[in-house]
Amino acid sequence: MSGHGTPIPMISHPCGPLTGTAEVPGDKSISHRSLILGAMAVGETRISGLLEGEDVLDTAKAMRAFGAEVTDHGKGEWTVHGVGVGGFAEPDQVIDCGNSGTGVRLIMGAMATSPITATFTGDASLNKRPMARVTDPLALFGTQSVGRAGGRLPMTIVGAADPTPVRYEVPVPSAQVKSAVLLAGLNAPGKTVVIEKEATRDHSERMLAGFGAEITVEDTDEGRVITLTGRPELKPQVIAVPRDPSSAAFPVCAALVTPGSDVLVPGIGLNPTRAGLFTTLREMGADLTYENEREEGGEPVADLRAKYSPNMKGIEVPPERAASMIDEYPVLSVVAANATGKTMMAGVKELRVKESDRIDAMARGLRANGVTVEEGDDWWSVDGLGIGNVPGGGTCESFLDHRIAMSFMVMGMGARTPVSVDDGGPIATSFPIFEPLMATLGARVERV
């Protein structure tokens, strides 16, 4: 629902050491999937550690609109009483997914092979984002869709009454597209096959298996081949959502660039399809260690310890790593500005179709704060100024994008003068406790 409210201008002051423990909220990707698969199972799924950000709350509302009973028991404990695969009811109102591309694309997939019609909308950011990447493969199942020019929301999806399973090679590295096709495949008889050339986050595959679906994943010369057998009865689960590595990125990067810092970020999901940022930071020379490595709920987890790192160097981030850190490039660019030498980020065209055009949004804000950025269609580079040398003093537009707003707040912590954003409101979509949590560590982020 972000973007519906009045802008919240924010300022981040240079600060002293960040210290203590940062308990970041639950993983956004896993939270959406827990609610959606819970709604498609027969019986009651129990979820703990659910991210209670606006994006996920919009998905909870949507699941209720499709007939599932979704109950908030407080403190991240939720239950979902599912209606079974193919059991979705037709919503009697428009489904508003707010700011969430993941929410809308996964839900479109989940309803696409049931004989119901639903209309989807979102905020000004979501209504600009491309949906044809999802509706094109859904059409192969027999689903129809009508949206605005260029396949934009608002959009009406008419589910296939008699769906056929599909074989689909995902043309862009996108876990949302892959997941939409798999969720649609649940109610198609026979085998749905999805092929991805580059591995993207695999939470859907893991969770589908956990709910009892027949799903196999093979690494072949063609890429990752995922085969799902349709019409399973999904069995309700007990899910403990790990903390979000994409949210952990903010206190971690803040600690790296703020003098004297030592921050522990416990219980972070380190699924290899998500952990690319931390590998990259270590390659740059960050003092970032994994403590207490373990497995929780089928996902690798560790406590991250990040310390002030005055000697980081710019690197070329391998393009093949992009999918595993796609949401982290904005905050990486802030670290890059504090390193010495150039950081080159290539193979990142997808950044242009996120909640904002993230290359453009970061380039504008970095330049407004004295940092040199070069960019092309699918690459960008940041010239590092060395630790503590980012001038700051600029005001950045967040373009309704939570990660842009948080990245600039992190930049202010290690800059010479404060950094401002025109609207920090979108932060509530994924990290509703960002401000109090960063304040506990010693940051000085204020609303103005």
CA dihedral 96, 99, 105, 107 (to 10 degrees): -40
CA dihedral 147, 152, 156, 158 (to 10 degrees): 90
Report in angstroms how near the CB of residue 121 gets to ligand S3P at its nearest: 19
Please, which residue, 258 or 398, has the CB nearer to ligand S3P? Answer: 398
Q: Which of 102, 135, 143, 407 binds ligand S3P (CB under 6 A)?
A: 102
Amino acid sitting at position 296: E
The stretch among 56-64, 157-165, 175-183, 225-233 that binds ligand S3P (CB under 6 A) is 175-183
Q: Is the dihedral of CA 426, 427, 433, 435 positive or negative?
A: negative
Active-site annotation holder among 327, 357, 401, 423? 327
In residues, how long is the chain?
448
Q: Is 201 in the site for ligand S3P (CB under 6 A)?
A: yes
Q: Is 29 in the site for ligand S3P (CB under 6 A)?
A: yes
Q: How far apart are CA 441 and CA 255, in angstroms?
A: 9
Q: Is 350 in the site for ligand S3P (CB under 6 A)?
A: yes
Please, which residue, 98 or 142, has the CB nearer to ligand S3P? Answer: 98
Is residue 136 part of the annotated active site? The answer reads: no
Report in angstroms how near the CB of residue 216 gets to ligand S3P at its nearest: 20
Report in angstroms how near the CB of residue 244 gets to ligand S3P at its nearest: 10
Neighbours of 284 (CB within 10 A): 25
Q: Which of 202, 299, 327, 397 binds ligand S3P (CB under 6 A)?
A: 327
Report in angstroms how near the CB of residue 385 gets to ligand S3P at its nearest: 28
Task: Label residue 144 exposed, middle or buried (CB < 10 Å: 0-12, 13-18, 19+).
Answer: middle
Give the interface size with ligand S3P as a residue count (CB under 6 A): 11
Q: How far apart are CA 284 and CA 314, in angstroms?
A: 6
Helix ranges (H only) for 66-145 are: 101-111, 132-140
Please report, as residue ranges, which positions from 283 to 312 form the binding site for ligand S3P (by CB under 6 A).
none
The stretch among 3-11, 172-180, 303-311, 334-342 that binds ligand S3P (CB under 6 A) is 172-180
Of 181, 200, 176, 179, whose CA–CA distance to 191 is shortest? 181
Q: Is 324 in the site for ligand S3P (CB under 6 A)?
A: no
Q: Is 326 in the site for ligand S3P (CB under 6 A)?
A: yes
* Cβ-contact 140, 132 below 8 angstroms: no
The stretch among 78-86, 174-182, 225-233, 418-426 that binds ligand S3P (CB under 6 A) is 174-182
Q: Is 174 in the site for ligand S3P (CB under 6 A)?
A: yes
Q: Rounded to 5 degrees, what angle do the CA atoms 24, 62, 84 make?
A: 100
Q: Which of 99, 114, 179, 324 binds ligand S3P (CB under 6 A)?
A: 179
Report in angstroms how near the CB of residue 130 gets to ligand S3P at its nearest: 9
The stretch among 170-178, 335-343, 368-376, 378-386 that binds ligand S3P (CB under 6 A) is 170-178
Report in angstroms how near the CB of residue 106 gets to ligand S3P at its nearest: 7
Rg (CA), the chain: 21
* Cβ-contact 50, 34 below 8 angstroms: yes
Q: Which letter does DSSP use for residue 181 in this model? A: H
Q: Which letter does DSSP use for residue 285 in this model? A: T
Return residues touching ligand S3P (CB under 6 A).
29, 102, 174-176, 179, 201, 326-327, 350, 354
Task: Give catalytic residues, as residue numbers.
Answer: 327
